[in-house]
């Protein structure tokens, strides 16, 4: 009966630690239920149960983390793509302005017949 109570307390403590760790990152603590005076056979049973619970929680946490990371990466890729389009549009604008300026300059040179006059906007 005492082993069942200890097992119940152990499960409760383990779940509390796992729930707390999934809220704000990983928290590693020494479990007070495991001490050097606990017989090795009891430790093996308790540790195997803890490993199963930990792995189950870790898998869910890892999957949720991966989904969140994937969502953030997709968002960043969209932002980069939008910026690339903005940069391309600005480059096109600059080329258009340069072309317009160079055509104005050559028109002024032709009009003044040899005089070099540059007009600034």
Maximum Cα–Cα distance across the chain? 111
Give the mean pLDDT of the chain.
69
For residues 59 and 90, the model is more confident at 90
Specify the pLDDT at position 121: 47
- Cα 61 to its chain centre, rounded Å, is 14
Decide if pLDDT at 92 tops 90.
yes
What per-residue confidence (pLDDT) applies to 104? Answer: 74
- The pLDDT assigned to 6 comes to 65
Q: Would you give the end-to-end CA distance of the chain in angstroms? A: 93
Distance in angstroms (rounded) separating the CA atoms of residues 95 and 91: 6
Dihedral of alpha carbons 60, 54, 11, 50, sign = positive
What does the pLDDT look like over 5-50, one tens digit per residue?
Answer: 666 666 666 666 655 554 445 444 445 555 545 454 555 555 555 5
pTM: 0.37
Which of 27-31, 40-44, 60-64, 115-119 has maximum average pLDDT? Answer: 60-64
31 Cβ contact list (under 8 Å, min separation 6):
10, 13, 14, 17, 50
CB hemisphere CA count around 94 (13 angstroms): 6
The closest alpha carbon to 8, from 40, 36, 49, belongs to 49
pLDDT of residue 37: 52
């Amino acid at each position: 009966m005492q082993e069942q109570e200890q097992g119940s307390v152990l499960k409760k403590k383990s779940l509390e630690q796992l729930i707390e760790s999934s809220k704000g990152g990983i928290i590693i603590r020494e479990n007070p239920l495991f001490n050097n005076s606990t017989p090795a056979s009891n430790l093996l049973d308790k540790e195997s149960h803890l490993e199963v619970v930990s792995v189950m929680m870790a898998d869910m946490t890892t999957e949720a983390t991966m989904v969140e990371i994937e969502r953030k990466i997709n968002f960043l890729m969209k932002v980069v793509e939008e910026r690339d389009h903005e940069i391309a549009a600005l480059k096109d604008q600059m080329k258009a302005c340069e072309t317009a300026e160079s055509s104005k300059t050559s028109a002024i040179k032709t009009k003044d017949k040899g005089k070099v006059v540059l007009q600034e906007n």
